[in-house]
Chains A and B, each alone.
Chain A
Amino acid sequence: MAKILIVEDNEMNRDMLSRRLARRGYEITMAVDGEEGIAAAKNQTPDLILMDMSLPVVNGWEATRRLKADDGTRAIPIIGLTAHAMAGDREKVIEAGCDDYDTKPVELPRLLKKIEALLARAGERP
């Protein structure tokens, strides 16, 4: 099953998201800030990253930019997560390099659809 990296500083969010995704059979790995997230993306080669955009140390925007600038990690799809949708958040998140975007609190069925779609697309790629 696919491996998902969750980069999220809030412990409860991390806990919930990891357990709910794990229950659906995904292999979960976690990071608590942007820097750790970048390191984890390089070392553990996840199939997909869920990136909270407001992170300590290195924020999600910067972490996404760095991951998408790196040949080693560019191919990993990233879903950006922000709090309550602000005007232009979706656009800014996509601009930062994320492949998709969702808001917190996550609606799991919706997020799962996005995860599945991105994984399927990544799988099709040669």
Chain B
Amino acid sequence: MISPNNLLVGPVARLPWRVQSKLLVAFLAIVALLIALGAIGIYELSAVNQRTEELIKSERKIAAYRQVQHDTTSQLYSISSALLVSDERTLDSALRQLNQFGYDLERLQFVAKDEIKLLGKVREEYDRFIAVVTRVVGLIRNGRVEEAREAQLKEARPLANRLERLTNELVNKAEADVVAGIEASGQAYHTSQTIVVAFVLGAIALALILGRTISLSLIGPIREIDTRLNEIASGDFTQRVTVGNRDELGALAANVNRTSEQLGDLYHQLEMASEHKSTFLASMSHELRTPLNAIIGYSEMLYETAQDEGQDEFLPDLAKIRDAGRHLLGLINDILDLSKIEAGKMELYLEEVDLGALVEEVRSIVEPLAAANANGLEIICPAGLGTFRTDRTKLKQSLLNLLSNAGKFTHEGRIKLEVRPADAEISFIISDTGIGMTDDQQGRLFQAFSQADASTTRQYGGTGLGLAITKRFCEMLDGNIAVASTPGQGSTFTITLPNRGRVALAATPLPEGAEHAPLVMIVDDDPNARDLLATTMRREGYRVIEATDGATALTLAHEWHPDIITLDVLMPRMDGWAVLTALKSDLELAETPIVIVTVLEDRSIAISLGAAEFLTKPVDRARLAATIRQHVYGSGVVLIVDDEPESRQIARRHLDRLGWEFAEAEDGTSALLWLSQNPRPAMILLDLLMPGMNGFAFLEETAKRVEWQNIPVVILTAMPLDAAERAILAGRTREVIAKGADDLAQVLRQILVRLPKVTELAPTT
């Protein structure tokens, strides 16, 4: 934008004056304008004053003229009186009035000096009038009244009339002067008003223009210098400040340019040095790693050989060589990473990373580390997170760094990794209950080669580079890392990364929990209620899927076929009764047990509509758990047939936990006896190798009685089975479980879930 204003800025900037002088000149210019304004004001005021004086003078003249007129009339009046009453007193008064007249005329001559011609005439007429009056008075005094009247009528009156005419003329003139004077002063007022306004506007405009011009001539260069300094701060040393100023700012700009050049040179040198350092470190790392590979590899081999040959006395020393080698390798790798990051050579490799898989991978690596210091490891990661775009290796390394640190500084405590996804960001929260840090230690935390306390390196090992690398990685991934810690209580590190390229939290909710666990669907519009139920269910080992309204519930039920549904009644749009009716009339879902959980008391409606159970809110968690357990796993009696008491005990414990009853037999014979004396059990858990009647024989016996043929049998055995044996069992049993399997509980749960519910099958129990 070019305005006259801006046209001035350049020349002002180029003036080779100091800023101070420029400001002073501008100030003086404005002051001069104001002084001129003052002078004009004073001049105008004096003119007004003069005009006022003239007006007053004219008023005085008018008064004097009027007085003369009045005197004339009075004189005529007193003469007329004297003619009527010619006593001495009246005559004296007439003569005295003559004196007064004379005096007024004197005064008239004094106030109206400029009216010489007319005044001369007045004087002449007055003189004559006096002469006539004096004569008339004389005649009256001498008793010649008739003559006096004659003189009065024929001489004095015309004279008086003339006098009056003359004075009227004078009055008119003076009044004309007054009018002219008022007009003139009105005009003068307008003129002076215009002049004052013009000067004031001029002064304001001048002040604005000068102020703006000067400030622009200062601000422009300052801004430019500021921009340059910012560029310099961001590492661009190539630009120059170009300002036209020949004042202090010009000098400053020149200085900035010089400094920028010097900084640029220094920066370049530093860059070169840093690059040399990085190259050196990279090649050194490579050179160091090759012999280290050999040291680690051969020490491992020696360790294995010593182990194989029973030379156990060498093992500790060999382990030390191996561990020292690994530690050194870790250090070299960290240094290499850091030097690469600092040289800007660390590349990002963005890909779609499956969060669940990554977390599992991390868990498998961290578990032994946590166990080494007797720490518990907890990982909280919502299921079905899907993928997000990031650098898998760097994220994994960051998580491992933080988790292994947590493990290193925590003894017999807890280490926790929580993945918290949100729309825009994903947070990874790594917390421990370890030694913690002071604020001061936290401040130095992310610097390379700086463990919070130098002595910790000796005590806890580690390179002190892990956190520096982690921080750099997080920054490279456009995220950040934060720490919160209390000495003695533990630390929490939070990595926050942008949730890039990931669909927001899955539109269809995915069930959470262990893969094969029974699935509970919770239908409730109140998030708190949902949360409470879900937490209880998860704690009981179920997978949970949540629906916030009736329609979603129906969709999800079709998609996931939950093992059981808890259903709220009071929900907007579609209420629980409607959902219940819809589910029960759906062939696919009619068999799914539904537990109504509500504040209402309508148990009979619920049962008549086909609900399996009815619980009132607030729910008793234990009761809820028991109800769900009963409907998911069923209930009834399992006959455990096993000769080993320990095996029976393990089976008992698992069944007990799921709310099942059990009976025990230590061989086939006593098992058959039990069957003949008791109601039919829901399932038989059978060992194969037993003294007396073994498992195979027992199966043959049960096949002979119709009412026993269909009892589900699960084999729990330590015996290796050949193909023929497997074939026999396959026809008659549901599952063969190897004894000692760690997932016995899991397998049992699955079998029980699939078992026809005792209540439906054997009402006798």
Chain A residues near B (Cβ < 8 Å): 10, 12-13, 16-17, 19-20, 23, 83-91, 104-106, 108
Contact = CB atoms under 8 A, between A and B. Distances in A.
Given A83-B286, A87-B346, A87-B348, A13 B393 contact: no
Contact of A13 (B286, B293, B349, B351): B293
Given A19-B301, A88-B347, A108-B300, A12 B393 contact: no
B294 interface: yes
B347 A13 contact: no
Interface in B311-338: 329, 333, 336
Top 8 nearest A-B pairs by Cβ distance? A88-B349, A16-B297, A105-B293, A12-B294, A87-B349, A84-B333, A105-B296, A87-B393
A89 B391 CA distance: 11
A23 B304 contact: yes
A72 to B, nearest CB: 32
B83 to A, nearest CB: 143
A10 B290 contact: yes
Given A13-B293, A105-B293, A87 B301 contact: no
13 contacts: A12-B294, A13-B294, A19-B301, A20-B301, A84-B285, A84-B333, A85-B393, A87-B349, A88-B349, A90-B393, A91-B349, A105-B296, A106-B297
A72 B297 CA distance: 33
B414 interface: no
Contacts of A106: 297
B298 A16 contact: yes
A32 to B, nearest CB: 16
A53 to B, nearest CB: 14
B289 A84 contact: yes
Contacts of A86: 347, 393
Given A84-B333, A105-B292, A91 B297 contact: no
A19 B302 CA distance: 11
Contacts of A17: 297
A88 B394 CA distance: 10
Contacts of B346: 87
Nearest to B326: A105
Interface in B345-375: 346-349, 351
B352 to A, nearest CB: 11
Contact of A105 (B329, B347, B348, B391): B329
Interface string B385-426: 000000111100000000000000000000000000000000
Contacts of B292: 105
A13 B295 CA distance: 10
A13 B349 CA distance: 29
Contact of A87 (B285, B297, B336, B394): B394
B390 to A, nearest CB: 11
Contacts of B308: 23
Interface in B257-294: 285-286, 289-290, 292-294
A101 to B, nearest CB: 11
Nearest to B336: A84
Given A84-B336, A88-B347, A105-B297, 9 more contacts: A10-B290, A20-B304, A23-B304, A23-B308, A83-B289, A86-B393, A87-B393, A88-B391, A105-B329
A117 B40 CA distance: 107
Contacts of B304: 20, 23
A12 B292 CA distance: 11
B525 to A, nearest CB: 45
A81 to B, nearest CB: 11
Nearest to B397: A85
Contacts of A83: 286, 289
Nearest to B293: A105
A106 B294 CA distance: 11
A85 B289 CA distance: 13
A87 B298 contact: no
A16 B301 contact: yes
Nearest to B348: A87
Nearest to A88: B349
A83 B289 CA distance: 9
A21 to B, nearest CB: 11
B293 A12 contact: yes
A108 B326 CA distance: 13
B324 to A, nearest CB: 14
A108 B351 CA distance: 28
A28 to B, nearest CB: 14
B206 to A, nearest CB: 67
A29 B392 CA distance: 34
Nearest to B350: A88
A87 to B, nearest CB: 5
Contacts of B393: 85-90
Contacts of A84: 285, 289, 333, 336
Nearest to B473: A87
A15 to B, nearest CB: 9
A83 B333 CA distance: 10
Contacts of B349: 87-88, 91
A73 B300 CA distance: 33
Contacts of A12: 293-294, 297-298
A89 B347 CA distance: 11
Contacts of A90: 392-393
A16 B289 contact: no
B391 A13 contact: no
Nearest to A104: B293
A47 B394 CA distance: 33
Nearest to A105: B293
A73 to B, nearest CB: 28
A96 B628 CA distance: 52
A90 B348 CA distance: 13
